[in-house]
Structure 1
Amino acid sequence: MASLPRFTPMLATPGRLPPAAVDEQWAYEVKQDGQRAMAYLPGDGTVRLLARSGADITPAYPDLAALGPALGGVAAVLDGEIVALDDQGRSDFERLQQRMGLSGSPAKAAHAARRVPAHLVLFDAVFLRGRSLTQLPYTERRAALEALGLEGPRWSTPSVVVGHGEEALTMTREAGLEGVVAKQLTSTYEPGVRARTWIKIRHARTVDVIVGGWVPGRGRLGGLPGALLVGERHPGGLRYAGSVGTGWSDAERTRLAELLRVAAVDACPFDETPPVAGAHWVLPRLVGEVRYSTRTKAGRLRQPSWHRLRPDLAPDDIG
């Protein structure tokens, strides 16, 4: 990958559909529920996959290695999302979690690949044939990506819809998908920027949070987390966002208990200590995604429910 420039993925801003008056100025893609990855293909038949954090995750996905030969001698850097598909062809993050974190164990990664195949959904081309495409408009980058003809057993370039945002959102809701990403047709690719020219619209309000503590459960849940104390990063530190006490399976609760035990510390990591009796504090390094209804005036999450752990994200990746 020495001859290829490095790119930090461009990020979408959470929001609503663009106004109907400008609907035709936007393209709509299905929002995938997986692990973001930049694919570096130097044109020698190899591929290297880097996560949003910059970590090399290539060894975790041996089933995606054939993408290199599929592209032939073309040097490219492509943006996409690694997913695991359910029986109905929908991305399933819980299934993908069985594939994540295995970069240090090729044998385990190969075994997991046989049980849960990965699929790389490609949606942008940022470098091609010795030239950066970041300053080109979205329409030209998409045309360049589609011209590569990358459709295979473990990767694809899904079509996009120009205009018809309401219809696209309705379709994804009825299909049980996470939502859509709206991308302005004239938008350039801004590496590392959470841009307003890309808007992600989810069917439920969600937020990435950092776990700063927990409260033990009662009865049969003694010793296990009954609630997680979560916060959101800001330039000065970690702001308490509320207590999350629902949404786990028994298996995930047990897994969280072990992670929390390893991360235990004496000092509260939040800017201000939450008024929660019996709290245990942890290093603020676990990232999770939480569903919620609204926020209080103080910014606390109302009716929060745990959605999933995000092992693909570090605290510095969110905010």
Structure 2
Amino acid sequence: MFRDGDEITVQSRAGKDLGRYFPELLDALRTEVAPRCVLDGEIVVPRQVDGRTRLDWDALSARIHPADSRIALLARETPAHFIGFDALADADTALLDRPLTDRRQALGALVTGGQWCHITRSTDDPELAARWLTTFEGAGLDGVIAKRRGGHYLPGKREMVKIKHARDADVVAIGYRVHKSGEGVGSILLGLYDDGALQMVGGAASFSTAARAQLMAELEPLRLAQDLVRDGEPSRWNSAADKRWIPIRPDRVAEVGYDQMEGAGPGRRFRHAVRFRRWRPDRDPRSCTFDQLDVPARYDLSDVLEDR
């Protein structure tokens, strides 16, 4: 987030200007952060669930919409917040070469409001951080970040470690996408049974060239029909991505590694791409249900953010 007086630019990691999608956040930044600064942080959309506030990643994704009328409507219905992680500049003073402890102190001074703009909690107690990893998941967070107290901010480099949950699940292979090269399997679409109905929950990708060819040899014979290809939902973050996929008979069970589920009810799914581990020929596909998955205890997002 770059602010120079009334001029504010909010960029994604890839450098995409996100300001037009979040007009209400630009207004909030003008009143709740210092007049001239550069901050590293994240845009989030909270929602109420059973009396507690948690992050809603679906609502956030829906905010990336091309129509101006839709942008204005969503700005009212699902207003966004900014959560600051780090301070990169304070007026004319660059903070990149300052230690983390100094940058965090500056961050607390540069984020002056608390209704729409917040900063994360921080600690140097590893036991407390471990508790946060467990409890904060109930508010929609997917992990904690570890940084060196004396470390500098290095643009384009990962001067940090993100600690996430590590879990396993047995899921049903329901289809695949051809790799962008046109050869082999690029990703496997995965599902779980819910009251007898098979629900798509995500996908596994990032296979080697040899693995892509092997997976094609294993999955292509399971195609439901040679000419059947289904369209997937377009990505708001990567409009060029080809989401078409080929459905297969749900005969195979895969063991995968995942970190977190997102959503509720039949719409639950893996928040991130999962890691394919192995096939489970000993497992009945219909035994792969949502019941095997961890359900974190509810936690309120307001307890995650530092009091302002």
TM-score range relative to shorter protein: 0.5 to 0.7
Distance in 2 between the 1:281 and 1:86 partners?
A: 32
Cα distance in 2 for partners of 1:85, 1:161 equals 24
Aligned equivalent of 2:190: 245
The alignment partner of 2:273 has SS state of strand
Task: Specify whether residues 129 and 284 from structure 1 end up closer, same or farther in structure 2 by C-alpha distance, changes over 3 A only.
Answer: closer
Given the superposition, is the C-alpha separation of residues 284 and 41 from structure 1 closer, same or farther in structure 2, using an over 3 Å criterion?
Answer: closer
Q: Distance in 1 between matches of 2:183 and 2:10?
A: 31
Q: Which runs of 5+ in 2 are unaligned?
A: 232-238, 244-270, 280-287, 291-308
CA distance in 2, matches of 1:69, 1:296: 51
Contact 2:11/2:17, CA 8 A, preserved across alignment: yes
| Alpha-carbon distance change, 153 to 285 in structure 1, aligned in 2, over 3 angstroms | same
Residue 242 of structure 1 deviates from its aligned partner by 5.1
Report the equivalent of 2:60.
96
Cα RMSD over matched residues? 4.1
* CA distance, structure 2, for counterparts of residue 238 and residue 133 of structure 1: 47
In structure 2, the residue matched to 1:122 is 84
- Greater CA radius of gyration, 1 or 2? 2
User: Aligned with 1:153: secondary structure?
Assistant: coil
5+ residue gaps, structure 1, are 1-38, 207-224, 257-268, 298-302, 306-319
* One-letter amino acid of the structure 1 residue matched with residue 272 of structure 2: E
Q: Deviations over 1:132-187 (max 9, x none)?
A: 21111111111101012432322111321221332222332465642211222112
How does the TM-score come out when normalised to structure 2?
0.59
Partner SS, residue 184 of structure 1? coil
* Equivalences for residues 230-241 of structure 1 within 5 A: none
In the alignment, structure 1 residue 63 sits paired with structure 2 residue 24: yes
Amino acid at match of 2:241: R
Q: Does 1:194 align with 2:158?
A: yes
Paired residues of 2:44 and 2:55 also in contact (CA < 8 A)? yes
Q: Distance in 2 between matches of 1:238 and 1:140?
A: 51
Q: Hey, what's the Cα distance between the residues in 2 that align with 1:58 and 1:228?
A: 35
The reply to whether residue 228 of structure 1 matches residue 176 of structure 2 is yes
5 Å-filtered alignment, 1:162-177, equals 162-163=124-125, 164-173=128-137, 177=141
Cα pair distance change 1:58/1:173, threshold 3 Å? closer
Tell me, yes or no, if the aligned pair for 2:33 and 2:110 is still in contact at 8 Å.
Answer: no
Question: Does the residue aligned with 1:246 lie in a helix, a strand or coil?
Answer: strand
Amino acid at match of 1:162: D
Are the equivalent residues in 1 in contact too, given 2:31–2:113 (CA < 8 A)? no
Summarize the Cα distance change of 1:199–1:46 in structure 2 as closer, same or farther, 3 Å threshold. same
SS of match in other structure, 1:97: helix
Give, in angstroms, the shift of residue 51 of structure 1. Answer: 1.0
Q: 1:183 — aligned with what?
A: 147
Q: Which residue of 1 aligns with 2:305?
A: none
Give 1:295's aligned residue.
277
Retained in 2: the 8 A contact 1:126–1:141?
A: yes
Cα separation, partners in 2 of 1:99 and 1:247, compared to 1, 3 Å: farther
Aligned length: 220
2: distance between equivalents of 1:144 and 1:281? 51
User: 2: distance between equivalents of 1:248 and 1:200?
Assistant: 31
C-alpha distance in 1, partners of 2:19/2:193? 30
CA distance in 1, matches of 2:183, 2:9: 34
Cα distance in structure 2, aligned partners of 1:166 and 1:73: 32
How far apart are the structure 1 equivalents of 2:44 and 2:274?
21
**Pair 180,72 (structure 1): closer, same or farther in 2 beyond 3 Å:** closer
Tell me, what secondary structure is at the counterpart of 1:166? helix
1:143 to 100, 105, 108: 105
Percent of residue pairs identical:
26
TM-fit CA distance, 1:270:
8.2
- Report deviation, 1:89: 2.0
Flag the 1:239–1:130 CA change in 2: closer, same or farther, 3 A: farther
Given the superposition, is the C-alpha separation of residues 85 and 49 from structure 1 closer, same or farther in structure 2, using an over 3 Å criterion? same
Aligned match of 1:53: 14
Q: Give, in whole Å, the separation in 2 of the partners of 1:166 and 1:82.
A: 24
